[in-house]
Structures are given as C-alpha cells and as structure tokens.
Amino acid sequence: MNINRLVHPGFWFGKTDKEEALRLARLGVGGFCLYGGTRTEVSALTQALRAASPHKRILISADYEDGLGRWLPDAELLPSNLALGAAGDENLAFEKGLLTARQAKSIGVDWVFAPVVDLADRADNPIVNTRSFGADPELVIRLAGAFMKGLGQGGALNSLKHFPGHGNTGTDSHLALPVLLSSKEHIWEHELLPFRRLLAQADCVMAGHLLVPSLDAQNPASVSRPILHDLLQQKMGFTGCISTDALCMKALGNEKQAALAALFAGAHVLLVPEKPFELLQFLNSQTLPHPLIARAEQMQNLLCARADEVPPLTQAAAFAPTDFSVRTAHKALTQKGESFRISPGETLYYLSVGNDENLSASPFLRTLEANGVQTEPFQGQPVGKLAILCWRRYQAFKGKIGLDEQEIRQVQQALPLGQESVTVSFANPWSVRGLTCKSLLFTYSPSPVFQQAAAEVLLGIRPATGQLPITL
C-alpha cells in the first residue's frame, strides 16, 4: 500500500519548480491539480508527470469551472454558472460540460473540480457568487445535473462541491474559516438538496473548509467525521470518492493534523497541500489502518478506470470554434428597471468601477462604436447618457466581492449627472446593491462575447431575455 498516493499536490505554472513536481511524481503521489499554463505547457507537463510516476495511472485535475479560459490565456472563458442560471437552459449547461471535458482531456486533464452546487444565497459571499447556478435549489439541480452529463460524455470526471454547502457564508475559506449557521433541518432541505439529488451522478464530492455548528461544533466539514462519514457516507449513502478542498487554504490551521483528521473523517484524496514533501514525510511516520489506505486507493483505481473510458480528442478538434458562448449570452443577459437605449450618432459616457483585475472594456466599446455610437470616459461633468460599468468578480484570496464605500460614493455622485443612465454589471450581480440605479443590465461574465451582447442590448439590436437567478 502506498499512502503517498492519497496526496495530490498543486502545480502553479510560473511558480512551482517542475523538478520538484517530477520528484513528487516519482514518490508516487496520486495526481496533481494544475493552475495556469498554456495549452502546450499543460499538455507537456501532464505527459512528463505521468511518465515519471511509478503508478500505471495518475489523475490530473483542475478547477475548470468556467472552462479552461479561467486559467489558460489561450482558451476561451466560458459563460459562468450564474449566466447559465439566468438562461435556465439545460442544453446549454450540458454543452458547457461537454466542451470543458473535451478541451481538458485533449491537454491531459481528466478530472474537473466542478460543478459548484453551492446556492447563491448571500450578497456578501466573496467566493461563491457567479460560480453558483443560482439561489433556487431546483434550478441548481437541473443545470448542474446537465453539466455533469456533459462532462461525462466528454470523458472527464466531476466533483460536487463544496459539501455540505458554501453558499450561505460570508468568508473566503482561502483566508479564514467560514461558518454556516443554518439549522440542521434547513441544511438538509436547502443546502444539501443539490448534493442529495446529484450524488448518483457524482464521481467525487469535495468537502468544504467551513464550520457547520449544527452538524459538528468542533471541526470544519473537510475534517469532520460526523459530516463526511456519518452524514455523507452513512445517512446519504455516498460510496464514492471524497476529496478535501485545497489544504493550502488558510481555513484549517495545521496542515499535517488537518490531513490526518480528513483521512479518519472519510476523505480519500488530500488535495493541494502547501508543503507536499513535509506532508508525505509526516503521513509515512504515522501508523494508519490498512483498510483506510486500501479504501482510498480503491477509490482512485475506480476513478482512473472511469477516466479512461472515453479517449481524448485532438486539441484541434477539442478547441474547434463554437458559437456556444454567443448563444448563451443571447439567452442569459437580464435587464431590470427602466429601459435604456443608445442610438447611432449619440455619445455614451462611461465610468468603470471595481475593475481591480484590469479587465478591458474594449469589446463593449468597440461594438457601440461600430454601430455609430461615440464613447467617452466620464469626467465628472453633466452628460446626456451615462453607463456605469461594474467589473468586480470573485477571486480566491481576495476576501471581498462588492464595491467598496469609495466606489459606491463615486457612482452615487456620478448618476445624477447623467440625464439618462444605465448600470451594467459584467460579473457580480450584487455589485449594484447600494446604488440608486434606474436601469440595470446583468451579463454575469466579463468575456468579450458577453460584453458585445450587452452593447447590442443597449443598442436595441436584441432583447435581454434572461431571468435573474438570485435575489437582490
């Protein structure tokens, strides 16, 4: 038995030493979770890691929740889950899963840590946000189930996350330990409903780093035997693989003790430790029950066999152009409040807020300009037509999601200076809270395709037919 196989280190392109990763592969870790890289870099690394491993098969995973474009610069950023929630279309959710799986498999990644089935319950949740399909459990079940079917048809493994539900929390578990204060009864009927209904399709369940006092007052879910063994395995009957969330996150404290506790709680995969060599040394110094290790290895054997059922496509085939994002944008964009239109020959003044990732507004502005609209940055003077562009979106380790007080003041001072105004939320729909907006447009994604669609809605070229999948 090889306890090293239970550990799946992370690899960050541009940061992690490749030779260290190859050493870990030779030590017999069970797989790697990849962050970043280009298609060529990922493909080359996955081949090298597999060649270095003593195992017949290892699992390569990634957080490709919105397609590969969230991590790879040469791949398309697919529509967010919340955009799919606004569109409400199972066929689109299936297609997103299928595209993601085919592209991931073509570069050597066979395990996608998705879908997120956390509910979009709270405006101040800094990490779930557009990763959720919406606030309604039935909508989440319907779309996440279709997405999982798409992943499976494309040959990729899935992972339901973050058990038992990360939506109704206000803390980023990358930075600190979130607390879910819901009652046991509410959790069963609300947060756990998507997990309960989708477990039969799940290759894996990822345990969240969050404290749920009504289920276990002492231990975070990812290291809690009452939550993983008693609830997930015994009461809910899940017999598949359980993975921790990334151990390098700051919610758990001592990494070695957390990993050990997770194994005894019921986990089979110890994901992305901060210090993998030290963790391997520590685990090998412990006397662990043979059935525990054997069960974890059995889980990985099953996943490896499942991952080989569908052969990968070539990169050329997997990344062939598609109009998927265009069709999703046309069905997802949501307009609320008063109608706002801009016509050829008019000037639209724009003010960007919450753009701490320096996202470009060029696709939005170019589409307007191509249709005869002049665009100008807002300079604080009275204008005819004004657009407030809100860009903030979830980002791990950031700890916040809404506009800050200074940005809200900036917008509130600007809005009265426009005879007509519209606020366009390109990512976090809750970013408009606290603003006195008469006209609102939600895209749920800052990708070029969604920016272009937003401009077309303002031009009156197409309607906004999406339904807001959250409560503002």
Domain with CATH 3.20.20.300 in the chain: 3-318
Look at residue 396 and tell me whether its pLDDT is greater than 60: no
Cα 223 from Cα 285, distance rounded (Å): 20
The pLDDT tens digits for 417-428 are 999 999 999 999
pLDDT reported for residue 74: 97
Q: What is the mean pLDDT of residues 302-320?
A: 97
Among 127-131, 377-381, 393-397, 452-456, the range scoring the smallest mean pLDDT is: 393-397
Cα 133 from Cα 198, distance rounded (Å): 14
Among 126-130, 290-294, 329-333, the range scoring the smallest mean pLDDT is: 126-130
The pLDDT tens digits for 25-83 are 999 999 999 999 999 999 999 999 999 999 999 999 999 999 999 899 999 999 999 99
Average pLDDT of the chain is 94
Tell me which amino acid residue 311 is.
P
pLDDT confidence of 461, banded at 50, 70, 90? very high
pLDDT reported for residue 400: 64
The pLDDT tens digits for 242-285 are 999 999 876 677 899 999 999 999 999 999 999 999 999 999 99
pLDDT reported for residue 173: 55
The pTM score is 0.95
Domain with CATH 3.40.50 in the chain: 333-458
Cα 128 from Cα 24, distance rounded (Å): 31
pLDDT confidence of 169, banded at 50, 70, 90? low
Give yes or no for a contact between 331 and 87, defined as CB atoms under 8 angstroms apart: yes
pLDDT reported for residue 181: 85
The dotted CATH code for 333-458 is 3.40.50
Look at residue 170 and tell me whether its pLDDT is greater than 60: no
Look at residue 415 and tell me whether its pLDDT is greater than 80: yes
The pLDDT tens digits for 1-30 are 689 999 999 999 999 999 999 999 999 999
CATH topology of domain 3-318: TIM Barrel (3.20.20)
Query: Two tokens at 9?
Result: 């280190």
The residues annotated as belonging to the active site are 174, 245
